[in-house]
């Protein structure tokens, strides 16, 4: 069977609400409107207004409320219409949620999921296109997940909801409508993926491509192209930004000796930067070429379609970088 | 120009302040101006709707049709040294501040002649010269920003005010209350203007606010509720408000208005409200029809005169759409422009593939 | 136990609600309990002051002396299924919730017997079992958190309320207004409790709030102003408040109180207020002396009895201080504990030098 | 003459307020209280309450106000009592300040300085000890500065205030009281340092130490120790986190062939991670050893003095890492 990421997320929420009546969802338009992106479709009808609650447009207020309810022992799912708006509430995510278990010497636990679309969508310009993976991923106390496929969407979402700690769950608007074939196993109501474990989406021997979310698909497409030219790329889907599965990454690079890290967000202090640093630290002597990264351009997101396209990684960018690290093509600086 | 006095039918409702008079001074030119401007705005938004559907416009696009009286009434009481800041529903605000239909349309298409050179899109239009500070995409953020502009006006000892506009949904944002308290403490000339169109996206005001009496939500700050479908009432409120704010600091103005379209282009706008509600308001409170009737009843122009104005507006919008379509996309180098206004020495900007594209400025 | 009725002298001031009765039911045991508890709190804070000066305590340390009546009065109206959350001035709140002086003192010293095992310090004390949710360092943040706890109580259909405490300085925070609106919309049993000690750090209430009538700042939510130096008035307000909130949702309670110490240990507390102001309040409104007088005038105990209680309190605090001093520092492994409660498989934690210290869990 | 960093900052503010009457300061307790850390001492008395304004404790509100005033053409300095509290206002720093020049196609400019102490102080626990250098440093549109010495404090602060763009200025509470000898040049009212340029604080040939803020002092002390053992360390003071002076860093590493990056903040997606990634990308073939980083431990900051000390880099950590990259000592994993 085939399923979209949207359906994957929706079914995961549905099943976990059925599984544990401590689970509830709050956020803007999650109820009567069925979700701005329809991820919560049908849940209000099924679980009622006590468990699916539309909030005012007050991110700090409802996020704090969610964290407080988690302190108390409930299992809130807080939807941000997009993660851009979570900046209004980020103090609660970091200071109230991530740090409380630690500060209280283990007394408080904070079983909460913060979820919503993250990063670039299409044509929504600078204020609505930021990727927050690196920010949240830097904070001890948080677990930060980013699904690519339906398998990820279901397995990670269900794991996030059952997890006793705060989880930041970074979806991608453009991926919501993507379909994937799913196995029976993935559809099982007890299908959970381990938090902190990356997935090798494709095995290869010449170069390791590391990415997450939408960029995994780009890497897979790049790998197909590269195969035609005789380059065998291993594609790692991080799934978890924090904890970062350094073991899987390093193991792969030790095999391929080459690394290209890919992300859609800004480069400085990004996930790709961390991947490169981690590999350099741990597997320096295995590297046959300088690791590279393909990232969002280091600019706020422009609206115009032509500029927007240049502002995020494209498959040819990945292919070009791979060829460089494989010494297949001499890099040529493009005038700009 | 013929001076006139018109009695606005809906009384001003107030909180901790005496209401302005319902007798509003106006003139033939002003009323014809209202009609012309509002009609043009309406045409422009309808054109945008069509262009969105035919994929000339992408992403978020929030239309203003239905709310035009707020914009023209407000502008009639202000000058360009007064400042305006609003949210993402800003196309008509841009026009009101002296922008052109081409600037709006080209921006919507992401083309070079857009008022932000195509880099901002629907939500990010500005006219710094005329003190229009956008076009802000984050709900509520524009309000403290507007208070900051008002701070600047007072700091420079100018006789001007800032209008900070926000929706009924935004009215619950904490930063509004923070900004209001500061504005009140420091007597800043800011008009907190809630465009109450009665819905956020799909959430009716009473589901998002315990007290949807937005004109009274300033608590210790006075407020006035205004028929936001009546350009003259709006003008009167802002005239009163400007004087008040220059003397006393902030004032809350609630504009009772309505958006005909859905929240944005992805919202049909008909799941959370009835078609009857929409058509009822169109029939009874439409801001353009109200002015048309007034003009005709006062015999300031004939029905044919108004038709001519409409025709002219249509032509202007159609031409602007054509011009916007043929406006080029921004040059690639614009991707790397405007990161900073003062570029540091040896500044480098990375493209997606930094080994391939690194711009040195 | 002897039941008594005492008339509290200062009338409750209210906003949109009828005031509770000034006739407060109490008992000999309760009054002696108030005296004992408040005296112990006072001693503890004074001990903390000394320990800070002799460098046993580091960092921020905010003392509660002067405000004790709020804590004991509140606890007299609640049980441990009701919840409390407060800011960083939390030592006495921790005691009030059933914590020990040793837990507080050891926490202040960063020692193993502290209520957070020394990892939280002055600002981060908790008693989850008794529904005390801290000890929060970010001004205002505790209020939406408290509303969330109240949400939990209602979700679980329990007859309990949450007290969310905040200062006069915090009362302007936007997130309070956001949380209040939600609490009011959803009828959450939350008592928004402003401990108005009249200063933030060095900022007097009227310099930070246009309207320092905190009991009325809920606007559409009713509120009561309470003499926060009178434990019985406080108890009455919370008793009333708990009943109200279980029926109707949120209520604002303003406690008119005073902190004798500076804001924290780095603030002498005397640059922005006069020594006369402080000594005047000590003489006329001290919460402990008020209860002492009441006990004596009602002849519930003798002066000597009270002296004995004092002596016993001193002993208890001194012993706790000694025990806290000899409590060990937390083991090094505690640096890496409590990052998560559910540790992922193969989880690694890096020390400052990751090649030297990487903890695998 | 000697001067403390506090005096350096204070004199810079003072001079710039005298220099340009569009400059004003807002923040909590900046006026009558003279600043929580006395950085604004005397300014209220000198420039009056119109230009030195105490605000309520409402970071989102007064930060937005500052940004709006900058739109209008004033030059606000927004003090955060500490940068931890700026999380309540971070949406304005990023979405309103950093992106507006870009989104408006250059129409709006935002000449504003956000300043205050950042990172760990002493004994203030998890919610008051976070370093935000990496977060702000990731955002195009911002300039992010972090002074170490009095020279930096004065030269960077004055440059920040005169700059036409939003600058995030990250001070360090513990450094406020540190004294430095200062030259006449540094005391000149027109002394400005260039934004985006690192400073080589100490030349060396065997290893490059890269750090910023308080950690520069630690690196210098480590370098002194190392000298005794015959290791010559070059110490780079970044001064500017964004733009990052990759040129100076890479030049140094190409000379020394060895890199240790040091920061007090959390490691993942940190400044040290970016430094390592940048050097690996650009100077891979020059490296004689895997680059290393010394960072804050990957935990929320504990209160207890013994744990706190373990949670931030100490000089022996830096020395140990240098010896490792110089192959002077075999790394030994400590049990924990
Ligand atoms: C902080 C934030 N949260 C959520 C959104 C998404 N959003 C955009 S508009 C909107 C509804 C706003 O309604 P209202 O304030 O009434 O303005 P209107 O659209 O009716 O003009 C929402 C939820 C946002 N842009 N910013
Ligand atoms: C968001 C935030 N801003 C600033 C601070 C620094 N700060 C700590 S306490 C305080 C004053 C608070 O005053 P008030 O709310 O009256 O409480 P009180 O200390 O009087 O109990 C300030 C400014 C903080 N902790 N959090
Ligand atoms: Mg609305
Ligand atoms: Mg106070």
pLDDT digits (tens, 9 = 90+) for B275-288: 999 999 999 999 99
Helix (H, G, I), strand (E, B) or coil at D262: strand
Express as a percent the part of chain B with pLDDT over 90: 99
Residues D31 and D178 in one domain: yes
Q: How high is the pLDDT of residue B361?
A: 85
How many structural domains comprise chain B? 2
Judged against a pLDDT cut of 80, whether residue B173 lies above it is answered with yes
Q: Could you give the CA distance from residue A154 to residue A160 in angstroms, rounded to a whole number?
A: 10
Report if residue D49 sits inside a domain.
yes
Pocket test for ligand 1, best of A81, A116, A121 (most atoms within 8 A of CB): A81
What ligand has the least distance to the C-alpha of C262?
2
Q: What backbone phi and psi angles, to 5 degrees, belong to D100? A: -70, -35
Judged against a pLDDT cut of 90, whether residue C1 lies above it is answered with no
Report if residue D335 sits inside a domain.
no
Residues A234 and A316 in one domain: yes
Judged against a pLDDT cut of 60, whether residue A335 lies above it is answered with no
Expressed in percent and rounded to 5, the helix, strand and coil fractions of chain D are: 40, 15, 40
Residue D184 C-alpha from the chain's centroid: 24
Residues D220 and D154 in one domain: no
pLDDT per residue over C277-309, tens digit each? Answer: 999 999 999 999 999 999 999 999 999 999 999
Q: Which residues of chain D from 272 to 301 reach within 8 Å of chain B, CB to CB?
A: 281
Q: How high is the pLDDT of residue B1?
A: 77
The answer to whether D132 contacts chain A (CB < 8 Å) is: no
CATH of the domain at C16: 3.40.50.970
Q: What backbone phi and psi angles, to 5 degrees, belong to B237? A: -65, -40
Please compute Rg for chain B using Cα positions: 21
Residues A47 and A180 in one domain: yes
Contact B148 D55 (CB under 8 A): no
The answer to whether D254 contacts chain B (CB < 8 Å) is: no
Residues B139 and B17 in one domain: yes
- The Cα of D80 is separated from the nearest Cα of chain B by a number of Å equal to 16
The answer to whether A49 contacts chain B (CB < 8 Å) is: no
Report if residue D19 sits inside a domain.
yes
Residues C350 and C240 in one domain: no
pLDDT per residue over A28-42, tens digit each? Answer: 999 999 999 999 999
CATH of the domain at A233: 3.40.50.920
The tokens for B284 are: 């009874």
Residues C63 and C90 in one domain: yes
Residues D158 and D209 in one domain: no
Residue D189 burial class via C-beta count within 10 angstroms: exposed 0-12, middle 13-18, buried 19 and up: middle
Which residues, including other chains, have CB under 8 Å from residue A311's CB and lie 6 or more apart?
Answer: A120, A296, A297, A299, A301, A302, B335, B352
Judged against a pLDDT cut of 60, whether residue A336 lies above it is answered with no
Q: Could you give the CA distance from residue A102 to residue C338 in angstroms, rounded to a whole number?
A: 5
Which of A157, A187, A217 is at the close of a domain?
Answer: A187
pLDDT bin (cut points 50, 70, 90) of residue C2 is: confident
Pocket test for ligand 2, best of D81, D90, D92, D121 (most atoms within 8 A of CB): D81
Residues D66 and D112 in one domain: yes
Expressed in percent and rounded to 5, the helix, strand and coil fractions of chain A are: 40, 15, 40
One DSSP character per residue, A215-278 reads: HHHHHHHHHHHHHHTT--EEEEE--EEETT-HHHHHHHHHHH--EEEE-SS-STT-HHHHHHHH
Residues B40 and B7 in one domain: yes
Which residues of chain B make contact with D56, given a CB cutoff of 8 A? 178, 181-182, 185
Residues D302 and D181 in one domain: no
Question: Token match 């407020």: residue?
Answer: B223
Q: Are B97 and B80 in contact, with CB atoms under 8 Å apart?
A: yes
Contact C184 B221 (CB under 8 A): no
User: Domain residues for B261?
Assistant: 3-330
Q: Are A319 and D319 in contact, with CB atoms under 8 Å apart?
A: no
- Residues within a 6 A CB radius of ligand 1: A 28, 57, 59, 81, 85, 88; B 89, 137-139, 167-170, 197, 199-201, 263
Residues B161 and B180 in one domain: yes
Q: How high is the pLDDT of residue C287?
A: 98
Which of D165, D187, D209 is at the close of a domain?
Answer: D187
- The Cα of A316 is separated from the nearest Cα of chain C by a number of Å equal to 36
- Contact pairs from chain B to chain C, CB under 8 Å: 48
How many structural domains comprise chain A? 2
Q: Are B159 and B133 in contact, with CB atoms under 8 Å apart?
A: no
The answer to whether A292 contacts chain D (CB < 8 Å) is: yes
Q: Could you give the CA distance from residue B193 to residue B82 in angstroms, rounded to a whole number?
A: 14
Residue nearest to atom 18 of ligand 1 (CA): B167
Report if residue A224 sits inside a domain.
yes
The answer to whether B231 contacts chain A (CB < 8 Å) is: no
Which of D126, D157, D187 is at the close of a domain?
Answer: D187
Which residues is C253 bridged to in the sheet? Answer: C193, C224
pLDDT per residue over D45-101, tens digit each? Answer: 999 999 999 999 999 999 999 999 999 999 999 999 999 999 999 999 999 999 999
Q: Which residue of A has its CA nearest to B167?
A: A57
pLDDT per residue over A102-135, tens digit each? Answer: 999 999 999 999 999 999 999 999 999 999 999 9
Residues C242 and C337 in one domain: no
Report if residue D330 sits inside a domain.
no
Which residues of chain A make contact with B202, given a CB cutoff of 8 A? 29, 32-33
Residues D163 and D25 in one domain: yes
Residues C241 and C354 in one domain: no
Q: Could you give the CA distance from residue A301 to residue C137 in angstroms, rounded to a whole number?
A: 35
Q: Could you give the CA distance from residue A64 to residue A67 in angstroms, rounded to a whole number?
A: 5
The tokens for C139 are: 């001004």
Give the residue among C153, B11, A116, A285 at the shortest CA–CA distance from D284. A285
Residue B12 C-alpha from the chain's centroid: 21
**Quick one: which atom of ligand 1 is closest to the CA of B137?**
25
Residues D106 and D251 in one domain: no
Q: Which residue of B has its CA nearest to A312?
A: B352
Report if residue D331 sits inside a domain.
no
Q: What is the ipTM of this complex?
A: 0.98
Residues B177 and B213 in one domain: yes
Angle of CA points D292, D297, D298, to nearest 5°: 100
In angstroms, the Cα distances linking B47 to B51, B59, B96 are: 6, 16, 17
Q: Could you give the CA distance from residue D197 to residue D195 in angstroms, rounded to a whole number?
A: 6
Best mutation target, A25, A57, A68, A102, to test chain C (most C CBs within 10 A): A68
Residues B96 and B40 in one domain: yes
Residues D264 and D303 in one domain: yes
Residues B200 and B343 in one domain: no
The tokens for D35 are: 């600043």
pLDDT per residue over B94-141, tens digit each? Answer: 999 999 999 999 999 999 999 999 999 999 999 999 999 999 999 999
Q: How high is the pLDDT of residue D329?
A: 66
Determine the straight-line distance between the first and last CA of chain C, rounded to whole angstroms.
Answer: 55
Q: Average pLDDT in the D200-223 region?
A: 98
Distance A48 CA to ligand 1 centre (A): 24
Q: Average pLDDT in the D306-333 region?
A: 90
- The answer to whether residue A224 is catalytic is no
**Quick one: which atom of ligand 2 is closest to the CA of D127?**
25
Q: Are B61 and B36 in contact, with CB atoms under 8 Å apart?
A: no
Report if residue A203 sits inside a domain.
yes
CB-nearest to A127 from B138, B170, B333 is B138
Residues B100 and B199 in one domain: yes
pLDDT per residue over A94-111, tens digit each? Answer: 999 999 999 999 999 999
- The Cα of D20 is separated from the nearest Cα of chain A by a number of Å equal to 30
Please compute Rg for chain A using Cα positions: 20
The tokens for A203 are: 């095995």
pTM above 0.80, yes or no: yes
Q: What backbone phi and psi angles, to 5 degrees, belong to A198? A: -80, 165
Q: Which residue of C has its CA nearest to D290?
A: C355
Which residues of chain A make contact with D321, given a CB cutoff of 8 A? none
Residues C251 and C348 in one domain: no
Say which of A59, A79, A151, A173 is annotated catalytic: A59
Which residues of chain D make contact with A264, given a CB cutoff of 8 A? none
Residue B47 burial class via C-beta count within 10 angstroms: exposed 0-12, middle 13-18, buried 19 and up: buried
Angle of CA points B49, B53, B58, to nearest 5°: 90
Chains that touch C (3 or more CB pairs under 8 A): A, B, D
Which residues, including other chains, have CB under 8 Å from residue D267's CB and lie 6 or more apart?
Answer: C350, C354, D273, D293, D295, D296, D298
Average pLDDT over all residues of chain C: 98
- The answer to whether residue D178 is catalytic is no
Distance D91 CA to ligand 3 centre (A): 21
Cis ω on the peptide bond leading into residue D243 (within 30° of 0)? yes
- The Cα of D78 is separated from the nearest Cα of chain C by a number of Å equal to 17
pLDDT bin (cut points 50, 70, 90) of residue D239 is: very high
Which residues of chain C make contact with A72, given a CB cutoff of 8 A? 83, 133, 148-149, 151-153
Which residues of chain B make contact with A310, given a CB cutoff of 8 A? 332, 335, 351-352
Best mutation target, B141, B144, B168, B174, to test chain C (most C CBs within 10 A): B174
Say which of A128, A201, A234, A264 is annotated catalytic: A128
Angle of CA points A191, A193, A199, to nearest 5°: 130
Contact B338 D106 (CB under 8 A): yes
If residue A26 lies in a helix (H) or strand (E), which one and from where to where? Answer: strand A23-27
**Quick one: which atom of ligand 2 is closest to the CA of C168?**
16
Report if residue A193 sits inside a domain.
no
Residues A166 and A304 in one domain: no
Q: Could you give the CA distance from residue C39 to residue C31 in angstroms, rounded to a whole number?
A: 12
Q: Could you give the CA distance from residue A199 to residue A176 in angstroms, rounded to a whole number?
A: 20
Dihedral (CA of C329, C331, C336, C340) sign? negative
Contact D302 C119 (CB under 8 A): yes
Residues D61 and D130 in one domain: yes
Q: Could you give the CA distance from residue C314 to residue C42 in angstroms, rounded to a whole number?
A: 10
User: Domain residues for A267?
Assistant: 199-325
Q: How high is the pLDDT of residue A332?
A: 60
Q: How high is the pLDDT of residue D328?
A: 87
Instruction: Give me the long-range contacts of B276-283 (CB less than 8 A, separation at least 24).
Output: B281/B66, B281/B229
pLDDT bin (cut points 50, 70, 90) of residue A333 is: low
pLDDT per residue over D110-155, tens digit each? Answer: 999 999 999 999 999 999 999 999 999 999 999 999 999 999 999 9
pLDDT per residue over B201-238, tens digit each? Answer: 999 999 999 999 999 999 999 999 999 999 999 999 99
Expressed in percent and rounded to 5, the helix, strand and coil fractions of chain B are: 45, 15, 40
pLDDT bin (cut points 50, 70, 90) of residue A9 is: very high
CATH of the domain at A14: 3.40.50.970
**Quick one: which atom of ligand 1 is closest to the CA of B173?**
1
pLDDT bin (cut points 50, 70, 90) of residue C223 is: very high
What ligand has the least distance to the C-alpha of A86?
1
If residue D26 lies in a helix (H) or strand (E), which one and from where to where? Answer: strand D23-27
**Strand order, beta sheet including B162-167:** B13-15, B223-227, B251-256, B190-196, B162-167, B83-85
Which residues, including other chains, have CB under 8 Å from residue C109's CB and lie 6 or more apart?
Answer: C51, C56, C57, C118, C324, C325, C327
């Amino acid at each position: 069977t085939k399923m979209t990421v949207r359906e994957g997320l929706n079914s995961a929420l549905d099943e976990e609400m059925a599984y544990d009546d401590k689970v509830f969802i709050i956020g803007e338009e999650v109820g009567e409107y069925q979700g701005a992106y329809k991820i919560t479709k049908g849940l209000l009808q099924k679980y009622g207004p006590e468990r699916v609650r539309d909030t005012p447009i007050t991110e700090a207020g409802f996020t704090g409320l969610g964290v407080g309810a988690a302190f108390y022992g409930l299992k809130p799912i807080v939807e941000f219409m997009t993660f851009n708006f979570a900046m209004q509430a980020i103090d609660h995510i970091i200071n109230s949620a991530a740090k409380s278990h630690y500060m209280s010497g283990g007394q408080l636990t904070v079983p909460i999921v913060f979820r919503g679309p993250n990063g670039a969508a299409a044509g929504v310009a600078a204020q609505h296109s930021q990727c927050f993976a690196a920010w949240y991923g830097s904070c001890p106390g948080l677990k930060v997940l980013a699904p690519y496929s339906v398998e990820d969407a279901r397995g990670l979402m269900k794991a996030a909801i059952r997890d006793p700690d705060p989880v930041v769950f970074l979806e991608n608007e453009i991926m919501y409508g993507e379909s994937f074939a799913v196995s029976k196993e993935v559809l099982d109501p007890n299908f959970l993926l381990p938090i902190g474990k990356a997935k090798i989406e494709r095995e290869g021997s010449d170069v390791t491509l590391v990415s997450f979310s939408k960029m995994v698909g780009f890497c897979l497409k790049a790998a197909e192209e590269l195969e035609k030219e005789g380059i065998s790329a291993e594609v790692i889907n991080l799934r978890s930004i924090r904890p970062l599965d350094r073991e899987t990454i390093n193991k792969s690079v030790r095999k391929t000796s080459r690394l290209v890290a890919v992300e859609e967000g800004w480069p400085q202090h990004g996930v790709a930067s961390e991947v490169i640093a981690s590999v350099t630290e741990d597997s320096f002597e295995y590297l046959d070429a300088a690791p590279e990264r393909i990232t969002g351009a280091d600019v706020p997101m422009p609206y115009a379609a032509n500029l927007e396209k240049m502002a995020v990684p494209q498959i040819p960018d990945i292919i070009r970088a791979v060829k460089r690290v494989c010494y297949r093509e001499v890099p040529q600086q493009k005038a700009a | 120009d013929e001076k006139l006095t018109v009695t606005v039918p809906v009384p001003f409702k107030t909180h901790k302040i005496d209401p302005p008079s319902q007798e509003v001074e106006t003139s033939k030119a002003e009323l014809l101006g209202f009609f012309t401007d509002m009609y043009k705005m309406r045409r422009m938004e309808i054109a945008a709707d069509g262009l969105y559907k035919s994929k000339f416009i992408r992403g978020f696009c929030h239309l203003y049709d239905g709310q035009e009286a707020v914009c023209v009434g407000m502008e009639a009481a202000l000058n360009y040294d007064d400042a305006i800041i609003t949210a993402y529903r800003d196309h008509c605000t841009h026009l009101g501040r002296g922008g052109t239909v081409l600037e709006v349309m080209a921006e919507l298409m992401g083309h070079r002649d857009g008022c932000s050179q195509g880099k901002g899109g629907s939500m990010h239009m500005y006219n710094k010269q005329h003190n229009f500070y956008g076009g802000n995409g984050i709900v509520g953020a524009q309000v403290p920003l507007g208070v900051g502009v008002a701070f600047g006006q007072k700091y420079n000892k100018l006789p001007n005010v800032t209008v900070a506009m926000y929706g009924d949904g935004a009215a619950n944002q904490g930063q509004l209350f923070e900004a209001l308290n500061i504005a009140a403490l420091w007597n800043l000339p800011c008009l907190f203007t809630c465009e109450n169109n009665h819905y956020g996206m799909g959430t009716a005001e009473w589901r998002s606010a315990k007290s949807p009496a937005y004109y009274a939500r300033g608590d210790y700050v006075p407020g006035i509720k205004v028929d936001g479908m009546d350009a003259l009432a709006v003008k009167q409120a802002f005239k009163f408000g400007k004087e008040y704010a220059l003397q006393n600091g902030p004032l809350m103005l609630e504009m009772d208005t309505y958006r005909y379209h859905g929240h944005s282009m992805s919202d049909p706008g008909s799941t959370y409200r009835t078609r009857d509600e929409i058509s009822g308001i169109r029939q009874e409170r439409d801001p353009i029809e109200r002015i048309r009737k007034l003009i005709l009843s006062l015999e300031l122009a004939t029905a044919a005169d108004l038709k001519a104005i409409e025709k002219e507006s249509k032509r202007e919008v159609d031409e602007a759409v054509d011009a916007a379509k043929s406006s080029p996309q921004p040059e690639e180098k614009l991707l790397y422009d405007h990161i900073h206004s003062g570029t540091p020495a040896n500044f480098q900007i990375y493209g997606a593939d930094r080994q391939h594209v690194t711009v040195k400025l």
